[in-house]
Structure 1
């Protein structure tokens, strides 16, 4: 006899019956203090109940994770924090009105709720709430692993969130693992294929989850030096609709209230499709797999695509302070900023190799150098502006890596640029560093990103003494620019091991000389404290 998956009380009340592996009754019955949930019934004289979680020791106070609970008020607060600070930036997984309602009605599984709340807890002003981060992360991972064979949209969303949590903990192997599981689940259930009678909300949510995995594949794979799993044009999947239209939809709605139009995430998707070719170009250049003519032709082709992307944006979606203000009023200032930060980052990566003066010169060389500097400076200015505007913050971890890349170009200007360029370069470097320090409050992996920037500056100081190429696109530079989750090794042509007395003396002498020339900036937190008006 087939046993019903939902309890009788939830079937009669037409509620989603959510089982909790750490309890015997379903979550809706626990919420309503119903004591006769039919999941507790006896079958053939034996009590049937889901297995309980073993206690887990975690740094946060409280009971074991198997019995960990969040109050309704805190859960709703942290979900709202997640929607405000993270959602629609590195991923777009939910229909915000539906998620809020499901949280209020206790219809969200614990694994999904804990993962969302772990991301949201980092931005709380209350230390007691921030301390929940570790407990929530461990609980989400544990519950997800116990239910991993349940292949469904909800577990795909959970895998994506847990992968993001792993990345924040500087655990790129687990990040790639959970993204890989999410991709496999997506293929098994043929996401985002619609089902008969499916609502617009459900269909659009599936579409956004698919594109979130596409976006993650571009970033996660490159971050640890793995090949991309999803090809650039792997299959025909419709672009996401406007966020304003999407948010206005209600459950069960099957007809759009107005004509379809693309939104910010649709623009992010068409932009990130150029990220893969840029990565491939830099990899092949570092491996000397292309001659100069092939490099110039490829750069020219991608640059035309980037320009076309920018020109084809609707006027209201092109960057301006007026457009930013409009999106800020709509509650989408952060995603608007994220879109244009990505554009400047990808463009900086495309033109970066032309900063090396010993590279063979072409008629386009100076143009590409100017573009590289322009996009690196524009990234810094936009990041600074976003921190000055309420609800426009870009505070997800990859912003830190992009700020480091922007800073490496600004360092080139500071070291080798014209006198007239120095004030803007120094201001941009200081602003980027201040943003990195702020991000470090939320994400543990930002400490390693700050270390990468300091290491890059030290390599530049050492390279100047040996007249080596500070910005040459070799394998080390590809690791620095693209493989952001992997540790930096010694640069091959640096003559001494890191930390030796000779290196320290060399860097100290060069730093002193550059300081006298106004071409050195001190990447230290104390410097920010001593100069609060740096911006």
Structure 2
């Protein structure tokens, strides 16, 4: 008997039938329309491993009420997707979940993310089981170079990261990057509709962003180079409104602005240059004059970025609320949190007041504290507007960097800075405690803040000297941070440290772990 190359639905409609990204899966059109596909029947008989198997196939973790499953997928789309990554067309993703055409490696990776954010403790407790099921499902198809497996490996890599398994995180990210390169992402195929073409583009830029963060966090070489060759992602609402099979251009017109994720990509390019600046500083490859000039150039890029943002994307409370009404509140906040975080990183080394030969030292130090404070204020505001909450894992690291600059101000700043600085630190710590409930590895991130405080307390002459240790502290967020041993603290710092200890007390464990 011959194996069907097209489904009965497409044959009846006299349209071209394009099979899914793995053999014998539902065809692209049926999957996007959320309708039954005769290819699924073949899959059910011959390749059950690519569909949702019975509970005994992957363990008890996969036995799930469909309503709870769908709620978790919605939670993932609401709180995770379009923040640290943007892989899916929401309607198509939910359709594939309903029809069973979404590979288990993706599905259980999504469920593992979302379960941690669930308000139901029983569901929360299953997050680890979902993670293990995702990895087990992926191992079955790991040798298939498909767009689905690009998504699966990237999502599972993220899950490994929040669980504190940095080696597995790096491994799965590396596989995802290589598969994407083999597939020549984001190049589109002639048969791709607009949804598929935009998904490929968003996947590529998501991996670019992941590579920027993970290479720094894990102290690994980057695998995806900078390029201006590819267009930026379109506006999110336009993407969401696309229908399966729709044809047309997938590039932005000259008079169109990119979507929120497009602006995130622009910022990520600057982030890569900031990483390079810090590495050169740590290795003494830049003079003070060269470092100042490098910083000025990147500061100008940030200024141009801010000036070029459309008025409705500028950071205002009104714009935040408007984006929240459109379902884009958390993505809008993610964009601006990134802007203030990258800016804090850029100027952080100028908190070291020993840069007496740098004319701009005081200005750059003031900018660092400004952006650290602005990050804290935005994070606080985001929790006041429904639909704007920032609860994905990397927020913890960004909050620690903001808190470190604020803690530095608490220890070394002027007396009139102390009240507002303490309020912002307290607000940041409340966020960290909230994130700690969701993500297991936040404890390690918080420990870095205590280590930074101890390093400051062992400084002399009311300064903190920036060196290789601080570069590791700022960038290598996925790796443990050792203590930075310096001479004993001065009497002046001991007095200021009482303020710091009072602020930090909210984060210190009160009992056995």
TM-score tier after normalising by the smaller chain length: 0.7 to 0.9
Query: 2:344 touches 2:372 (CA, 8 Å); kept in 1?
Result: yes
Q: 1:147 and 1:122 mapped to 2: Cα distance?
A: 26
The answer for the alignment partner of 2:387 in structure 1 is: 391
Write the distance in 1 (CA, Å) between the matches of 2:119 and 2:265: 33
CA contact (8 A) 1:52 1:66 kept: no
The residue aligned with 2:314 is 318
| Aligned with residue 261 of structure 2, among 259, 265, 278 | 265
Contact 2:22 2:144 in 1 (8 A): no
Specify the alignment match of 2:453 in structure 1.
Answer: 457
Do the aligned partners of residues 290 and 72 (structure 1) sit closer, same or farther apart at CA in structure 2, a change above 3 Å counting?
A: same
Alignment correspondent of 1:522:
503
Higher helix share: 2
> CA 1:162–1:39 in 2, change beyond 3 Å: closer, same or farther?
closer
Do structure 1's residue 103 and structure 2's residue 97 form an aligned pair? yes
Aligned counterpart for 1:277 among listed residues 273, 285, 289:
273
Matching of residues 106-505 of structure 1 within 5 Å: 106-233=100-227, 236-255=229-248, 260-464=256-460, 467=461, 469-470=463-464, 472-493=465-486
Tell me, in whole angstroms, the C-alpha distance in 2 between the residues paired with 1:174 and 1:388.
Answer: 36
- Contact map agreement 1:511 1:520 (CA 8 A) in 2: no
Per the alignment, residue 71 of structure 1 pairs with 65
Secondary structure of the structure 2 residue equivalent to 1:522? helix
**CA shift for structure 1 position 463:** 2.6
- Shift in Å, 1:64: 6.6
Please give the alpha-carbon distance, in whole angstroms, between the structure 2 residues aligned to 1:399 and 1:110. 27
Unpaired segments ≥5 residues, structure 2: 25-30
Structure 1: give runs of 5+ residues left out of the alignment.
22-27, 42-47, 56-61, 496-505, 530-535
Shift of 1:526: 7.5
Post-superposition CA distance 1:358-396 (Å, at most 9, x none):
123333222111111100000001011111221101111
Query: What is the rounded CA distance, in whole Å, between the counterparts of 1:285 and 1:160 in structure 2?
Result: 31
Q: 1:236 to 1:389 in 2, by over 3 A?
A: same
In the superposition, relative to structure 1, how do residues 208 and 52 fare at CA in structure 2: closer, same or farther (>3 Å)? closer
Q: CA deviation at 1:276?
A: 0.8
Q: CA deviation at 1:342?
A: 0.5
Question: Are the aligned partners of 1:65 and 1:135 in contact in 2 as well (CA < 8 Å)?
Answer: no
* Structure 1 residues 177-227: Cα deviation after superposition (integer angstroms, max 9, x where no partner): 111101111111111111113211110010000000000000000001112
Deviation at 1:11, TM superposition (A): 9.0
Within 2, Cα distance between the matches of 1:521 and 1:282? 31
CA distance in 2, matches of 1:413, 1:526: 19
Tell me by how many angstroms 1:261 deviates: 3.5
* TM-score, scaled relative to structure 1: 0.84
Deviations 1:476-508 (A, max 9, x none): 10111100111111315357xxxxxxxxxx79x
User: Alignment length, in residue pairs?
Assistant: 490
Shift of the 388–118 alpha-carbon distance from structure 1 to 2, 3 Å rule, reads: same
Do 1:18 and 1:109's aligned partners in 2 also have CA atoms closer than 8 Å? no
The structure 1 segments of at least 4 consecutive aligned residues displaced by more than 3 Å after TM superposition are: 1-21, 36-41, 48-53, 255-261, 492-495, 509-512, 518-522, 524-529
Distance 1:247 1:131, change over 3 A: same
How much does 1:50 deviate?
6.6
- Asked if the contact 1:186/1:210 (under 8 Å) is kept, the reply is yes
Aligned-residue RMSD, C-alpha: 3.3
> Which residue of the partner structure matches residue 27 of structure 2?
none
Partner SS for 1:521? helix
Shift of 1:106: 2.4
After superposition, give the CA deviation of every residue in 1:20-67 in whole Å (9 maximum; x if it has no partner).
99xxxxxx9xx99x9x955687xxxxxx777899x9xxxxxx867346
Point out the structure with max Rg over C-alpha.
1
